[in-house]
Structure 1
Amino acid sequence: MKNWWRGALLALQAFAASVADAQQTARSGAAAAAPATTTVIVLGVDHAAQLVAERDQPAALDAFLDRAKPDAICIERTPEAFARGDFYEFTYEAQDVAVPFARRRGIALCPIDWEPPVEDQRLGFGLALDTPPELRPLKGMFGFLAFAPQTLQRDLFHADDPAHLCKVADWAATPAAKARNDLPRRLYLYRTYLQAQRIAAAARAHPGGRVVVVVGEFHKRDIEAILADEPGVRVVQPSSLGRPDAHEIAAHDRPEYRTAIARFNLLGVQSASGAVDYAFVGRALAGLEAGGATPQTRLLRTRLELLQGRISRAEAIARYRALAADAGTAGFAWSGVKDAARVDSWFDPFGNLDVRRRALLEAARETLAAGDATAATALLDESAQGLSPRQLGQLRGYWQRDIATPNADPPKPL
């Protein structure tokens, strides 16, 4: 029996090699018949870092895509999920910048990711990788996203420098000390290989054209190495196109980009990180206010001035109360919420509240910090009115864990 299995494996290896040779021959023949070369540009990103780094801001990515003049844009999502309009929560640069840009311009979109079936995720990791718990942890897996101070200095072309990705390359090339712990690395290699193959297919679909890939920077170097020998493909670095200048970036700025920057930094957990570029956020908010004051801008302005120490806690509470009284049903221009049945988003425990409810919650937060727990509870109860039982449970859970407990570390004015 052992010899039978050995023979079967050898036969399978020989078959796989012959298939690979045949595919390479077919591609080489196709390349000879159609010599037009497709340019592939792999822009490595740090997911959602555009919201904290001014030199990597959403408008800069928008302007870069315009400068690249792509025939197709590849994004990091599986074809099946993309067909459902389903994205990873945290890939802001994909669903909130690249995809809308492509649709406004009539540019082809190519989802190029791969992920194991949910059953295999549970077998290998003990859980489904795309399903957050009812209460997300502050940090770690499924935790709210926040960035360290060094990310604020990130540039649009950060990933073009191999030195910035050497740790990833070392990790990918080094098996885990114990083989049973090597699943993440092995899946990464397989996933990146299939990403590259889907990019190659997109390139073949646009012979002689230009394909821009917007993908997590961890995948960039391996994708480029795999595509290096792909017939009919020429890989060039994004930085070779030049960085969009200030005028281009300003021309590509949009209200939803400014809202996302302000919300992420002022209302998300980033606000408590100590890593906020207030000048960048202030410019984004001023851009929103240039279109006229709204309930959204009034709330964001109050939060910004409180965090900067420009107004007192008492003044902030008064503003929040006044805003709640006349905000009506106003919402935010951007929320980042994927599951509307939840009260949170991927960066904000209370991200799915409308402006009135959020103003009441912020008033409750500051009232509690001022020492009046009874008044804070009343404000919180008012904020919770009309929520579903699930949303109510999450709101109270986050409040108790992150704000009301003695060890909580709520954002404080700087």
Structure 2
Amino acid sequence: MPAHEIRCTQCDLLQIMDALQPGQEASCSRCGHHLVRIHRHPFDASLAYALGALILLVLSCLFPLLRLKIAGNFSEMTFLSSAKALIDADFGLVANVLLSCVLFTPAVFLCAIVYLALALKYAKYWPGMRSVLRLAVLLEPWMMADVFVIGILVSLIKLASLAQIALGLSFWAMLLFSIALTKTVVVFDAHWFGFQLDQLEGLPAQKLRGEGAVSCYVCGFFNPQQALKCERCYARLHRRKPHSLSMSWALLVTAILLYIPANIYPMMITESLGDKTPSTILQGVLLLWNMGSYPVAIIIFIASVLIPLVKFISITLLCLSTQKKPNHKALHYTRLYRMTELIGRWSMVDVFVVVILVALIHLGQLMSVYPGVAAVSFAGMVVFTMLAALSFDVRLIWDAQDAQDLSNGK
């Protein structure tokens, strides 16, 4: 990749990126944000991991994930049966979240990577490659296969003292799928793939366009100031995300409102010998703690109580940080933003634990688990906090920092 100008998508610093070779990467000189990483074998590695992940995804849906034995009664669950159990219990919204985040979104993302990598490997221009590139970038934050695997492990520990649990073939396929999917994400670099796409179409290398140029927030391409759409991925160009603060505030308030019923109402309802026992998130944590399952209790408490509160506080601080005020530390807030993005989806662990228990324990009055209304509120809270973080334009923090530095004569 030859040297060219690039703007950091997080701090908006204009900088010249030196020529890179396979195996090298570049980061922003001001905020340390990743700019581009070129794998030693970018197309072969992307194809191998993506195709392997797709095969493992299919296998994870064909066989049982878990088998359970209680008092001579047997039960087993598959991935698809877990979604069906939620639909049968009139919790279709939670089923949609499960299928979208663990099955459909990763499948579409992997197909997009295979499509792009095959075309670029054999130097073929196929229809819609730029739109496929943009789609892959937009889908990446919403994949939660690894979170689902953690949910399975938490469920195993939770049920170990109550029943005999056996791992099915699909569990191992799901575990390997989550690893292969993570590796695909690591190998895939939108800027590098986009650059190769430019070369394939015979477009000239990015020119030095100066301070007025606009960087695409999706793929990082450096566009001329008058451009309305990105020349690489066709995403709409804006100097800053439109209505970023108002959208983040609105989504944050919605998430907080959903968090209230998520903690007041039952997360799940357990039926044993005809008696139904509802349990909220905190009651579930206390029950696990009293049973001696300290690691599981800590995991559920962190994922379901601590992380949401941290996200609420973090997004609030980020929105307030865009105002001019003394001792404004843009780099610290940028790191806070990255942390908020990183932990956002892990709160879904508790929802997936409920999904697994509902699908696995359905033995009538002997023992059955049903989802509670809090599962819907909690899943909605996770989605809205993720949307709030994604809607926030971190470059606004640096705008405030630059304005403050300018007023101080720096």
TM bucket, shorter chain: under 0.3
Compute the TM-score of the two structures, normalised by the length of structure 2.
0.21
Give the TM-score normalised by the residue count of structure 1: 0.21
Identify, as 1 or 2, the structure richer in strand: 2
